[in-house]
Chain A
Amino acid sequence: MKDQNENIKAPPKWVDLILEKCIAPHLLEDLQGDLYEVFYNNLTTVGVAKAKWKYTLSALMHLTPYFLKRRASNYSSSPLFSYDMLKNYFKIAFRTLAKNKGYSFINIVGLAMGMGVAMLIGLWIYDEISYDKYHKNYDRIAQIMQHQTRNGEIGTQTSAPYPLASELRSKYGSDFKHVILSTWTNEHILTYGDKKFTKTGNNMESSAPEMLTLKMLKGTWAGLKDPYSIMLSESVAKTLFGDADAMDQVIKMDNQYNVKVTGVYEDLPYNSTFRQMTFLAPWSLYEISQPGLKTMEDPWRPNNFQIFVQLTDHADIDKVSAKIKDVKKKNIRQEQLKFNPDVFLNPMSKWYLYSTFKNGHRIGGRIENVWLFGMIGAFVLLLACINFMNLSTARSEKRSREVGIRKAVGSLRGQLVTQFFSESLLVAGFAFIVAVFLVMLIMPYFNDVADKKLAMLWTNPVFWLLGICFSILTAIIAGSYPAIYLSSFQPIKVLKGAYKAGRFAAVPRKALVVVQFTVSIVLIIGTIVVFRQIQFAKNRPVGYNRDGLLTISLSTPDIHNHFEAVRNELLESKAIAEMAESSSPPTNSWSSTSGLDWKGKDPSLSVDFQYNEVSHQYGKTIGWQFMGGRDFSKDFATDSSAVILNETAAKFMGLKDPVGETVTWFTIPYKVIGVVKDMIIDSPYEPNRPLIYNLAKDPGIINIKINPGISTSAALAKIEAVFKKYNPGSPFQYHFTDEDYARKFYDEVRIAKLTTFFSILAVMISCLGLFGVASFIAEQRTKEIGVRKVLGATIVNVWGMLSGDFVFLVLLAFIIATPVSYYFLHNWLQKYEYKTEISWWIFAVTGLGTLLITLLTVSFQAIKAAMMNPIKSLRSE
């Protein structure tokens, strides 16, 4: 009862609540006290209800601005973010950095390297994933592709037969906005006045510019309607016409057709599939130049062209793809059905990153490299962060006293955490600036290696936002450990001077060193294996002689018509050793056939032979080697119906003694006169394919073996003079076969160079960190070393003691890294048919090498510490 009474006789709670919330705290107590006093007085004089009413009225009258206004406090409302303390933290941070110049250098440079690598890789990944996004219809464009089965293996190709385009247009037209036939990107001669250039471009159907959303600088997208028209890229227009207006000028294409310039478009960016399309000619012109196209006996058989489509806005790509799956089977002849051609759409978004197929399934593509380098970038950055953490914790003992004093005068733990974060923020800020400069410095070299045209996105706010977020994130990751660890010190212990890190204090630091070296060792082993793989493929017997071998592709018949005259003239001038014609260059195969038959052939066997039409001198020019039989010879008139096989072809045909056998090629019998050793024509990582040579009717390639007796430049000058004489209409352009051959290794060499670059950086960063940690440990143990020396320890003893710890850590890292790297590299090698072994010595060499580097890094500090005069170190306090 009493409680209830008191409750009734108390002022209303809600009024109190309002008062307590609203009235400035420094006024509240006495003000509310006065109100209470009056209330209790009123209770006895006017009764409870009236007292409450009066109280409420009186209290609420106090809610005026005067009573609500808070008094400005001398203290920050939050102890963690006071301006003065932050200023102080940065000041102390600057002083600490300036005091330990070596340490700051290691820290900032190490972090900058890590950030620079991450930035470069970030830019690289950005470039990779924005591939083809220049084209506005990116989401709607697709390429027609097909899976075909040959001898149980499903191969996937982009080439498609000529009539497929009109079939798609007529039967499935409602799904496609555009269906565009295109040639491959080929070299053509463009002539304007006396200026002649060989440029690469495509013949495409007239709505191609609209589909590819070319940015027209002059003219419109409708420029390809007339067969005798051409659209030029900005750079080609510039080379041909300089600053003059290119529009409506007439230029000559391949010395044959006069075409009018109907448009100039902005150069396609380097990260576009069509980047080499420097001009665009109408498909109708191609049809005029190839009159046989429309009169083909079986037009569905050869797969010669590319077909690009743009889907209508509502069409679903997967559904359309399923719909057109059988389009080819409905049209091809009975005997070709065994190839089981499944037609499908490959969307533009997957052209570049996801276009590796195996047995009819998409298994990935360049996206693997994006992941690989993304991971490497993250790891290198992690290494740099680890350095920062390790150096900070190693130095913790030096700063423990500062922490103690700060805590003793009242610092909260949160404040210390803020302090250490602001320090790491400062270092990360410096590192970011250095990293930007480093990236600018490395960029040209990196672009060269990576075959990219990356640029700093100076004007892109996203780049800056990411860069700054990235630095802050790095600062937080790198600063978290010291911030939490250092701020946990107990002031009494550290100030008493008896602070000694516990036995396990160094464990995290050691673990971090192990992580660092594990990553470094994995990268080193990876680099070695990639190089071994390239070397393995390079060591494969090529089967011919690339020295001084040139290829020249002909776009006009002039040289072919005067072949003997040209050859004789060059032989007489001693410029060349031999010269021959062929339909494909030695480093590539442009034609294949399935129309072969021979005695004892299994009828179910499908044949896919490459073939090369050559002239009599071909063998002597490239220097092939015979396993049996003889070369083509002018002494035998019957050689016009003779063929030479390569080793693989002979094996594939299962003939015991192929020489002398007869092969039927589209009903015409050919006699096998010789078998040559396999030559590497396609990828050096793949097995050789069957190849058949016959004599040329109309080859398009000239192969020249330069006379080894004279210098290449002299020979080239002579050859050019003769070519100009007989073929004045074409510029003299040639390829060195050894360069073309080397291009087969580009992808792998690029990966190798990049991983080398990153491994070196990783090792450098790790060693930088190790150097720093070793120097602090040596410093910390100065007194111990002094005592040991006084008691008779030698320099070698001390050196061994200091290095031993680190050697143990590196060995541990090695043990972890070995299976990890084996696992990844084994998987990587699986994609190659011809692959190197991952032999044990690679691990041994890497292990020893890392150990050596570690010892060199640590020894500098260890020996310095060991050589110190013990008197000095013992007297130091």
Chain B
Amino acid sequence: MILVMKRTFLGEFEEVVLLVVAACTEQAYGVTIWESIQRYTGRTVTMSAVHATLYRLEDKGFLSSEMGGATAERGGRRKRFFKVTAYGSKALLEIQQIRQELWQAIPSGRLQLIQS
């Protein structure tokens, strides 16, 4: 069965950011997400790229956010905590499913050829 993709297309970096938010054990906000992305992917990412992607994902409805309480270490500024919305989870699951189907469709032995 071929899945018709009606939802908004997610870019590679967007997918990573969304996955990182989903993977966070504690409440996710700008700095933790930024650090996690660098840690998981090993890439150097600018903070502004992370911020822009987070807000864009929120605009598209994959994430929701709410402001936390005042904090001392940030000069009294509040944190914005991000959560994956139901729509965001569905999108991630669908991507995962497509990938899985594709993985299963790969004839056995082909990847080993490539690996060698």
CA A411 to CA B52, docked complex, whole Å: 38
Interface centre among A37, A40, A61, A67 (most CB of B within 10 A): A37
Q: Decide: B48 and A61 in contact? CB cutoff 8 A.
A: yes
Chain B residues with a Cβ closer than 8 Å to the other chain, count = 21
Which residues of chain A from 280 to 295 have any CB-CB distance to chain B below 8 Å in the complex? Answer: none
CA A357 to CA B79, docked complex, whole Å: 88
Nearest-neighbor residue (CB-CB) of A57 within chain B:
B46
Q: How far is the CB of A515 from chain B (nearest CB, A)?
A: 60
Q: Which residues of B have CB within 8 Å of A29?
A: 67, 77-78, 80
Q: Which residues of B have CB within 8 Å of A31?
A: 30, 51
Number of A-B contacts (CB under 8 A): 63
Is residue A877 contacting chain B, with contact meaning CB distance below 8 A? no
Q: Decide: B31 and A37 in contact? CB cutoff 8 A.
A: yes
Q: How far is the CB of A832 from chain B (nearest CB, A)?
A: 86
Q: Decide: A30 and B48 in contact? CB cutoff 8 A.
A: no
Q: Decide: A34 and B47 in contact? CB cutoff 8 A.
A: yes
Which residues of chain A from 1 to 60 have any CB-CB distance to chain B below 8 Å in the complex? Answer: 27, 29-38, 40, 58
Query: Residue-by-residue, is A48-86 near B (CB-CB < 8 Å gives 1, otherwise 0)?
Result: 000000000010011010110000000000000000000
* The one of A35, A64, A66 that contacts B47, using a Cβ cutoff of 8 Å: A35
Nearest-neighbor residue (CB-CB) of B53 within chain A:
A66
Q: Decide: B74 and A64 in contact? CB cutoff 8 A.
A: no
Nearest-neighbor residue (CB-CB) of B30 within chain A:
A34
Q: Decide: A66 and B77 in contact? CB cutoff 8 A.
A: no
Is residue B71 contacting chain A, with contact meaning CB distance below 8 A? yes
Nearest-neighbor residue (CB-CB) of A55 within chain B:
B47
Q: Decide: B51 and A36 in contact? CB cutoff 8 A.
A: no
Q: How far is the CB of A7 from chain B (nearest CB, A)?
A: 13
Task: Classify chain A: how many residues form its interface, as a range.
Answer: 10 to 19
Q: Which residues of B have CB within 8 Å of A27?
A: 51, 55
Q: How far is the CB of A9 from chain B (nearest CB, A)?
A: 12
CA A34 to CA B47, docked complex, whole Å: 9
Q: Decide: A32 and B77 in contact? CB cutoff 8 A.
A: yes
Q: Decide: B80 and A30 in contact? CB cutoff 8 A.
A: yes
CA A67 to CA B59, docked complex, whole Å: 13
A58-B48 contact given A34-B30, A66-B55, CB 8 Å threshold:
yes
Q: How far is the CB of B55 from chain A (nearest CB, A)?
A: 7
Nearest-neighbor residue (CB-CB) of A24 within chain B:
B55
Q: Decide: A33 and B78 in contact? CB cutoff 8 A.
A: yes
CA A94 to CA B51, docked complex, whole Å: 51
CA A61 to CA B34, docked complex, whole Å: 15
* The one of B46, B56, B67, B73 that contacts A30, using a Cβ cutoff of 8 Å: B67
* The one of A30, A35, A38 that contacts B79, using a Cβ cutoff of 8 Å: A30
Is residue B62 contacting chain A, with contact meaning CB distance below 8 A? no
Q: Decide: B48 and A64 in contact? CB cutoff 8 A.
A: yes
Q: Decide: B48 and A36 in contact? CB cutoff 8 A.
A: no
A38-B31 contact given A30-B77, A33-B77, CB 8 Å threshold:
yes
Which residues of chain A from 483 to 528 have any CB-CB distance to chain B below 8 Å in the complex? Answer: none
* The one of A34, A37, A61, A66 that contacts B46, using a Cβ cutoff of 8 Å: A61
Nearest-neighbor residue (CB-CB) of B77 within chain A:
A33
Q: Which residues of B have CB within 8 Å of A32?
A: 75, 77
Q: Which residues of A have CB within 8 Å of B34?
A: 34, 38
Q: Decide: A58 and B46 in contact? CB cutoff 8 A.
A: yes
* The one of B49, B56, B71 that contacts A33, using a Cβ cutoff of 8 Å: B71
Q: Which residues of A have CB within 8 Å of B30?
A: 30-31, 33-34
Q: Decide: B55 and A61 in contact? CB cutoff 8 A.
A: no
A33-B79 contact given A27-B55, A38-B31, A66-B55, CB 8 Å threshold:
yes
Nearest-neighbor residue (CB-CB) of A10 within chain B:
B75
Q: Which residues of A have CB within 8 Å of B49?
A: 61
Q: How far is the CB of A11 from chain B (nearest CB, A)?
A: 8
Which residues of chain B from 54 to 76 have any CB-CB distance to chain A below 8 Å in the complex? Answer: 55-56, 67, 71, 73-75
Nearest-neighbor residue (CB-CB) of A26 within chain B:
B55
Q: Which residues of A have CB within 8 Å of B74?
A: 33-34, 36-37, 40
CA A61 to CA B44, docked complex, whole Å: 14
Nearest-neighbor residue (CB-CB) of B76 within chain A:
A33
Q: Which residues of A have CB within 8 Å of B67?
A: 29-30
Nearest-neighbor residue (CB-CB) of B50 within chain A:
A34
Q: Which residues of B have CB within 8 Å of A30?
A: 29-30, 67, 77-80
Nearest-neighbor residue (CB-CB) of A40 within chain B:
B73
CA A33 to CA B55, docked complex, whole Å: 15
Q: Which residues of B have CB within 8 Å of A40?
A: 73-74
CA A31 to CA B80, docked complex, whole Å: 8
Q: Which residues of B have CB within 8 Å of A62?
A: 47-48, 51
Interface centre among A29, A34, A58, A62 (most CB of B within 10 A): A34
Q: How far is the CB of A5 from chain B (nearest CB, A)?
A: 16
CA A40 to CA B52, docked complex, whole Å: 22
Nearest-neighbor residue (CB-CB) of B46 within chain A:
A61
Q: Which residues of B have CB within 8 Å of A58?
A: 46-48
Nearest-neighbor residue (CB-CB) of A16 within chain B:
B75
Q: Decide: B52 and A64 in contact? CB cutoff 8 A.
A: yes
CA A632 to CA B103, docked complex, whole Å: 145
Q: How far is the CB of B44 from chain A (nearest CB, A)?
A: 12
Q: Decide: A36 and B77 in contact? CB cutoff 8 A.
A: yes
Nearest-neighbor residue (CB-CB) of B80 within chain A:
A30
CA A326 to CA B18, docked complex, whole Å: 105
Nearest-neighbor residue (CB-CB) of B47 within chain A:
A58
Q: Which residues of A have CB within 8 Å of B46?
A: 58, 61
* The one of A34, A36, A67 that contacts B29, using a Cβ cutoff of 8 Å: A34
Query: Residue-by-residue, is B69-98 near A (CB-CB < 8 Å gives 1, otherwise 0)?
Result: 001011101111000000000000000000
Known contacts A35-B47, A62-B51, A64-B48, then 19 further A-B pairs from the complex at CB < 8 Å, ordered by chain A residue: A27-B51, A27-B55, A29-B77, A29-B78, A29-B80, A30-B67, A31-B30, A33-B79, A34-B29, A34-B31, A34-B47, A34-B79, A38-B31, A38-B34, A38-B47, A58-B48, A61-B47, A66-B52, A67-B52
What are 21 pairs between A and B in contact, CB < 8 Å? A27-B51, A29-B67, A29-B77, A29-B78, A29-B80, A30-B77, A30-B78, A31-B30, A31-B51, A33-B30, A34-B79, A36-B75, A37-B73, A37-B74, A58-B47, A61-B47, A61-B49, A66-B55, A66-B56, A67-B51, A67-B52
Nearest 3 Cβ contacts at the A-B interface: A33-B77, A34-B30, A30-B80
